Amino acid sequence: MLYQVREWQQSFLQPLSNVAHHIAEFAAHPLNPWSYNPLSQHIYAGFELFYRLGKEYQKPEFGIETVLVDGKRVSITEQIALTEPFCQLRKFVRDVPAKVKTAIPTVLVCAPLSGHHSTLLRDTVRTLLQDHNVFITDWIDARMVPLSQGRFGLNDYIHYIQNFIKYLQSTEGDVHLLSVCQPTVPVLAAVSLMATNKERLPLSMTMMGGPIDTRQSPTEVNNLATERPLSWFKNNVIQRVPAKYPGYMRHVYPGFLQHTGFIAMNPSRHANSHWDFYLSLIKGDDDDAESHRKFYDEYNAVLDLPAEFYLETIHTVFQTHALPEGTWVVKGQRVAPEDITNVGLLTVEGELDDISGPGQTKAALDLCKGIPKSRKQHYTAEGAGHYGIFSGRRWREKVYPKIRDFIAANELLTEKPTTASRSKAKSD
C-alpha cells in the first residue's frame, strides 16, 4: 500500500512540477522583458527549486565520452558485454590500438546494489579508464524485471559475479576486481568459493568502504539493521511493485524508502544545500547551481531492490555476521576466505566514513589467512567520508594512485595468457 500511496503522490506532484518548470523558464527567458527585474529572479529561483523537489528522477547516463590517456584525449564507447535478468555487464571501450588494450589490466568494477544506480561510480570508472580496460556491473531496477524472471537473492548476486569473472577471463584474460561498499561481501564470497573449488581466480581484489565485519566501529546504518528483527523489515519495508511497471507484483525494497533513509541521516545538510541552490539562482551563479543539479540528479535517482536480496543481506551481513563468523554456507559449501591464496588484496577505508566504519573493510585482511602478507595492503584515506574514497578530489589524487600501483604490481606477478590460450578457453 505504501508504494501505491507514493505513486499517487507522484501523480499529484508531477503536473505541478512541470508547470513550475515552465514558469521558471519563462521568468528567466532573456526575451522576457520582466526577466531583468529582481523580482523575476526570485520567481525563477522559487519555481525552479519547486520543480526539482517534485520531479521524478530517472537513471542518469554515465556520459563518459573522453578520458585523458598519456596526455591525449581518447574517446570512449559504452557497450553492453553481457546481460542477465537483473544486471548488465557494461564495457567502456577506449579508442586505442588493439595492442595497447591487451597490454593494460582489465578491471571489473562491482557496483553496489543498495539503492543508487551504478552511475554513482561514474568518477571511479572515468579515472580507472586512464590506465585500465574497465567493466562495471550495472544493476537493473527490480521494478522493471518481470516476475517471470524469478527471484534474486544474495546467492544469486554471488553467482552473477562468478559468471562475470569467468566471462572476462575467457574474453579478456586476467581480471582484477574492485568492489565498492555493499558488494565487498558477496565478491569476497564469490572468490572464496572459486578458490575452494580450485577455479581460476582474479589477480587481485580491491575492497573499498564495505561491511565485511560490521561489528567493527558500528555506524548508524549498522545499528538500524540490528536493532529490529528481520520480521520487522519484512513486514514494514517490503512492498509489491504497482501495476504500471513490468515487475508488477514483485516484492521489493523500494528505492524511495532507501532515499528517505539517506536524507534522514543528514537532513540539515540537504536543506542547506537546497537553500544555497536557491541563493545561487538569485545571484545568477550558474556554476554552483549546475553543480547542485548534477549532484542531485544522481543522488535522487534510485532503484528498487529485490526483497530476497535485501532481507538476506540484512540477515547475513548485519545480523548474524556470517562471513567473519565462518558460518556462511552457499549451496552446501561454506564460504572460506582462508582458501584464497594467490590473489592480491587491498582494502581501502575513509577516515570519516559514517556508513562503513573504520575497520569493517580491513577485516578482510585477517579473514584471508591464505594470502601472503606481501600481497595484502591497507589504505586509510585521511579526511575522506564514504563517497570521498571513490569520487571527487581525494579519490583521484590520493586513493586512485594506490589502487593503480597495486593493480600494476599484481599484474606483473602472473604470466599473461597468450592469445592462443584465450582462444582455447573460449572454445572450451
Convert the pLDDT of each residue in 100-128 to its tens digit: 666 899 999 999 998 899 999 999 999 99
Percent of the chain with pLDDT over 90: 64
228 SS3 class: coil
Cβ-contact 179, 207 below 8 angstroms: yes
Q: Where are the alpha helices (DSSP H) in 284-375?
A: 286-299, 307-313, 322-325, 363-367
Of 266 and 122, the structure prediction assigns the larger pLDDT to: 122
pLDDT on residue 425: 43
CA neighbor of 109 nearest in space, from 218, 9, 206, 237: 206
Percent of the chain with pLDDT over 70: 95
251 SS3 class: strand
Integer Cα distance of 282 and 299 in angstroms? 23
The confidence band for 42, taking pLDDT boundaries of 50, 70 and 90, is confident
pLDDT on residue 422: 45
Integer Cα distance of 379 and 207 in angstroms? 10
Mean pLDDT on 132-144: 97
The C-alpha torsion from 358 through 124 and 185 to 377, rounded to 10°, is -60
177 SS3 class: strand
Residue for grid cell 565485519: 213
Residue 352 has pLDDT above 90, yes or no: yes
pLDDT tens-place string over residues 44-83? 888 888 888 888 888 999 999 999 988 899 999 999 999 9
C-beta atoms surrounding 416 within 10 Å? 15
Domain ranges of the chain: 2-56+255-299, 76-230+305-427
Query: Which neighbouring-strand residues pair with 108?
Result: 135, 177
pLDDT on residue 296: 87
Integer Cα distance of 14 and 56 in angstroms? 7
Choose the weakest-confidence range: 55-59, 139-143, 151-155. Answer: 55-59
Of 18 and 183, the structure prediction assigns the larger pLDDT to: 183
Residue 428 has pLDDT above 50, yes or no: no
* pTM, to two decimals: 0.88
CATH of domain 76-230+305-427: 3.40.50.1820
Mean pLDDT on 288-315: 92
Cell of 143: 521494478
CA neighbor of 161 nearest in space, from 146, 173, 177, 174: 177
Q: Given 3-state DSSP classes, what are the helix, strand and coil percentages for the chain, each rounded to the nearest 5? A: 50, 15, 30
Cβ-contact 191, 176 below 8 angstroms: no
pLDDT on residue 46: 86
pLDDT on residue 99: 65
